[in-house]
Structure 1
Amino acid sequence: METSNYNFTDSQKESCAVSLMRDTVEALSLRDNISYEEALLRFTSSKIYSALFDYDTGIWRESPDYLLNLYDYCNSQKTA
């Protein structure tokens, strides 16, 4: 199987990251039974938010489930 070596622009990466963040925040809101705004505030205050928009990490390519699991993992490390 041959994979394409396509170079995404920063604008395309940002679009993917924003879409992923919205889906993840919605999932966080539903899971924790909090408002979308509260979930957004929690997410944007986390290290994962910064990592998502650091395009070198490649996190912008992942799924909302992956991002939410990463968010939970990082938050559990704060309290451990």
Structure 2
Amino acid sequence: MSTSPEEPALPLITVHAKAAASAQRRVSDRLETTGARTQKIQHLLAVIKAGVLESAHVDVSALGTQAPAGRSADFGEGWLAAV
């Protein structure tokens, strides 16, 4: 992710959110070209998102009150505040 000196870098969550939205549009478009119904496509994408969220929750729960290894003190403080 390159930025110019006067243009601040986007937070990673913003970058990933934009990439995810783009990927979702591409998958949806491709499935529509096969004749899949929009309602079925949206349901499939919702199930995939739910699985991703559940997996992330399991990962975070497994770490408990310990921040992932190799992170800064500020990250660890944020982790503890959020978890």
Which structure has the bigger radius of gyration? 2
Query: Where on the TM-score scale, by shorter chain, does this alignment land: which range?
Result: 0.3 to 0.5
Superposition TM-score, scaled by structure 2 size: 0.40
Which structure has the higher relative contact order (CA within 8 Å, separation 6+)?
Answer: 1
